[in-house]
């Protein structure tokens, strides 16, 4: 699973900083395989999955997503970004959505953002 308090925080940030309300929606966030996710680096992936569902826009199949989201809607760098991207490449991922700092010398194509609202707008303009 996913921590319900963390989900509530992500939903609050999406509403306050991005103008996206889930108030009238039933929101479920599932983690496959019975894993317990407690790493803040998964924040951006969860937020993008929620927005993908709400907007009915699929994320690219070869895309990995990571980054911590602050209460202000900033996308923060996380530890071992280079290692994460190298491992993603080994696993067959060709692109990433990540914090700006991850774009430097990345082994995959990175859409890098400073703010959650930018990442959402990037999702809306994905072909």
**Number of domains, the chain:** 1
CA distance 14 to 16: 6
Does the pLDDT at position 92 exceed 90?
yes
Task: Say which CATH number the domain at 39 has.
Answer: 3.30.230.10
Domain, as residue range, for 96: 4-124
Q: State the chain's maximal CA–CA distance in angstroms.
A: 42
* C-beta separation of 14 from 72 below 8 A: no
The DSSP 8-state label assigned to residue 107 in this structure reads S
The pLDDT confidence band at residue 26, using thresholds 50, 70 and 90, is very high
- State how far the alpha carbon of 117 is from the alpha carbons of 56, 61, 94, 124, in Å: 17, 22, 23, 11
Does the pLDDT at position 61 exceed 60?
yes
User: Which pair of tokens denotes residue 19?
Assistant: 């103008």
125 vs 15 pLDDT, higher one: 15
Query: The whole model's pTM is what?
Result: 0.95
How large a percentage of the chain has pLDDT more than 90?
Answer: 92
């Amino acid at each position: 699973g996913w921590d319900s308090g963390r989900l509530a925080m992500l939903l609050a940030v999406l509403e306050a900083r991005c103008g996206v309300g889930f108030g009238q929606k039933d929101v479920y966030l599932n983690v496959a395989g019975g894993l317990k996710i407690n790493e803040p680096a998964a924040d951006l992936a969860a937020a993008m999955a929620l927005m993908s569902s709400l907007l009915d826009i699929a994320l690219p199949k070869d895309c990995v997503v990571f980054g911590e989201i602050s209460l202000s809607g900033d996308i923060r760098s996380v530890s071992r970004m280079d290692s994460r991207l190298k491992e993603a490449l080994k696993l067959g991922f060709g692109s990433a959505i990540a914090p700006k700092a991850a774009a430097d010398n990345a082994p995959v194509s990175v859409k890098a953002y400073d703010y959650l609202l930018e990442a959402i707008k990037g999702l809306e303009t994905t072909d």
